[in-house]
């Protein structure tokens, strides 16, 4: 099986065309707010022309069915290509002159991470802020395709299991049926973004802030138009709306689909959704309990809201901030750090390890104790009442091992950047988990500007690997991949 480079180039060209067109969506904002807009025209022009010059010559190599090896290449190269060209508006406008910084900000967008190198977010032109939010929303769309159509096909980390709508896949082909599913989920994605925007406007946000925050909420991205993030709006209504939509964005979109069709029983029958829901509630109440003993100058409702907001924001890997959680005591800090390794639901736009993987690992560990007692017994892990294949459990175990290995490699690399220990821990955990804020000097009220260029590249790679479920990227570096079988 050789790699079909021309077919891959064809898809990458198409992606660039989309990217260039998306850049034009920023123009109306520039014009409306009387800002310069040449840089968008130039960026979009370069991107579209580059896209066409790759797309058109390879049109005759277009394939209807993507093969497995090509799938890996498309996914990694797709995200990288989008990020490279996505830097153009930042660089050409001169707002982020350093290419390293611009790349960090862009890949943080497309991977829906939300870590920023901007010292003063509000100093940027509004149209550029919109581009920044839009990169996250585009990344979120990409993730839906990835989760529904590509990862199950590639068999990454047992993900084939977790998308309810993809049974009966033939291993080497993308079925039109999956494309239909992806489209249906995109409709939900767009619909929820629109609904949140309307609710935020009702809550008193202006149109610009509302649309930006809706785009980045649904992508579980977390870029804000304000330096203070969501803490800027001290409105319970606005913050509760964002909590609800972060929660929805971190829910498996097929579950949301059942929910929207009124099949709540079916949604709650899903083990991952139940665990996700219970986890958010229990941890929030726990942290609220700790905060309630030392309220300071806030009232009970606000303590509850802050704790719920931050727990949902971290679990869903969104990364919005309403309060600096690093000041909530070391007990809470440890909990927040651990939450960074949970991740949202599979089949959502959330990053991280994902809850269903934790369920499998937990059940398998309990069963392993039972297996010690009865070595000959066959005890498969069951999810939603169904026994899952041992290969899948194996795959999930290997995924989590790999996650921690990559985390440790990142930690070692970051430790040579003069970041202190806690900040390094936080920076790597938040990057690989696609969350946004970390601990220490990369905590919720700080940013990533002070990290040196080497560190920014390390974290950029961490964001990409985390977003693409590790194997997808690493497999490209394995000799097996490049052998012709």
* Minimum CB distance to its own copies smaller for 38 or for 478: 478
**Beta carbon of residue 180, minimum distance to its own copies (angstroms, whole number):** 25
* Minimum CB distance to its own copies smaller for 297 or for 480: 480
- In angstroms, the CA 293 to CA 221 distance is 32
* Minimum CB distance to its own copies smaller for 180 or for 391: 391
Strand partners, 368: none
- In angstroms, the CA 303 to CA 311 distance is 12
**Beta carbon of residue 328, minimum distance to its own copies (angstroms, whole number):** 11
CA–CA distances in Å: residue 483 to residues 1, 171, 327: 9, 20, 52
The two most distant CA atoms of the chain are separated, in Å, by 74
* Minimum CB distance to its own copies smaller for 369 or for 385: 369
* Minimum CB distance to its own copies smaller for 1 or for 31: 1
Q: Give the rounded distance of the alpha carbon of 346 from its chain centre.
A: 11
**Beta carbon of residue 201, minimum distance to its own copies (angstroms, whole number):** 40
Task: Summarize as ranges the residues that interact with its own copies (CB under 8 A).
Answer: 68-69, 154-156, 171, 330-335, 337-338, 361-362, 364-366, 368-375, 391, 394-395, 397-398, 400-402, 404-405, 408, 411-412, 414-416, 418-422, 424, 439, 471, 474-475, 478, 480-481, 485
**Beta carbon of residue 387, minimum distance to its own copies (angstroms, whole number):** 16
**Beta carbon of residue 322, minimum distance to its own copies (angstroms, whole number):** 22
* Minimum CB distance to its own copies smaller for 69 or for 213: 69
**Beta carbon of residue 10, minimum distance to its own copies (angstroms, whole number):** 23
**Beta carbon of residue 87, minimum distance to its own copies (angstroms, whole number):** 30
* Minimum CB distance to its own copies smaller for 180 or for 453: 453
- Whether the CB-CB separation of 172 and 152 falls below 8 Å is answered with no
* Minimum CB distance to its own copies smaller for 449 or for 475: 475
Tokens of 124: 């940027």
Nearest to 40 by CA among 100, 129, 104: 129
For residue 207, count CB atoms less than 10 angstroms from its CB and return exposed for 0-12, middle for 13-18, buried for 19 or more.
exposed
**Beta carbon of residue 437, minimum distance to its own copies (angstroms, whole number):** 16
- In angstroms, the CA 1 to CA 5 distance is 12
Could you tell me the sign of the dihedral formed by the alpha carbons of 17, 177, 471, 115, in that order? positive
């Amino acid at each position: 099986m050789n790699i079909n480079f021309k077919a891959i180039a064809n898809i990458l060209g198409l992606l660039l065309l989309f990217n260039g067109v998306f850049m034009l969506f920023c123009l109306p904002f520039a014009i409306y707010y009387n800002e310069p807009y040449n840089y968008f025209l130039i960026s979009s022009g370069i991107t579209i022309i580059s896209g066409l010059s790759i797309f058109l010559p390879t049109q005759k190599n277009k394939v209807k069915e993507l093969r497995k090896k090509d799938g890996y290449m498309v996914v990694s190269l797709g995200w990288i290509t989008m990020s490279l060209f996505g830097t153009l508006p930042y660089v050409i406008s001169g707002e982020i002159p350093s290419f390293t910084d611009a790349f960090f900000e862009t890949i943080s967008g497309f991977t829906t991470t939300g870590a920023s190198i901007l010292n003063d977010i509000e100093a940027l032109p509004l149209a550029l802020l919109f581009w920044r939010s839009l990169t996250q929303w585009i990344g979120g769309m990409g993730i839906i395709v990835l989760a529904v159509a590509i990862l199950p096909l590639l068999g990454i980390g047992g993900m084939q299991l977790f998308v309810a709508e993809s049974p009966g896949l033939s291993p080497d082909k993308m079925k039109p049926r999956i494309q239909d599913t992806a489209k249906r989920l995109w409709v939900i994605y767009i619909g929820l973004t629109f609904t949140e925007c309307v609710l935020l406007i009702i809550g008193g946000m202006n149109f610009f802030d509302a649309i930006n925050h809706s785009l980045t909420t649904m992508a579980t991205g977390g870029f804000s138009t304000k330096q203070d993030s969501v803490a800027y709006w001290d409105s319970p209504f606005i913050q509760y709306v964002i909590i609800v939509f972060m929660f929805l964005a971190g829910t498996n979109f097929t579950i949301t689909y059942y929910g929207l069709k009124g099949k709540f029983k079916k949604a709650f029958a899903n083990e991952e959704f139940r665990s996700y829901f219970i986890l958010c509630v229990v941890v929030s109440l726990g942290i609220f309990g700790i905060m309630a003993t030392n309220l300071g100058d806030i009232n009970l409702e606000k303590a509850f809201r802050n704790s719920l907001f931050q727990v949902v924001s971290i679990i869903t890997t969104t990364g919005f901030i309403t309060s600096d959680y690093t000041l909530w005591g070391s007990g809470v800090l440890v909990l927040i750090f651990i939450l960074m390794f949970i991740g949202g639901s599979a089949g959502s736009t959330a990053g991280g390890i994902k809850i269903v993987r934790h369920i499998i690992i937990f059940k398998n560990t309990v069963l392993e104790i039972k297996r010690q007692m009865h070595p000959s017994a066959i005890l498969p892990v069951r999810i939603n009442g169904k026994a899952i294949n041992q290969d899948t459990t194996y795959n999930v175990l290997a995924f989590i091992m790999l996650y921690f290995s990559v985390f440790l490699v990142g930690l070692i690399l970051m430790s040579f950047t003069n970041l202190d220990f806690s900040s390094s821990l936080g920076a790597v955990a938040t990057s690989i988990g696609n969350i946004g804020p970390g601990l220490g000097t990369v905590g919720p009220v700080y940013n990533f500007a002070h990290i040196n260029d080497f560190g920014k590249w390390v974290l950029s790679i961490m964001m990409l690997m985390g977003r693409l479920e590790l194997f997808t990227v690493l497999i490209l570096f394995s000799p097996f991949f490049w052998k012709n079988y």
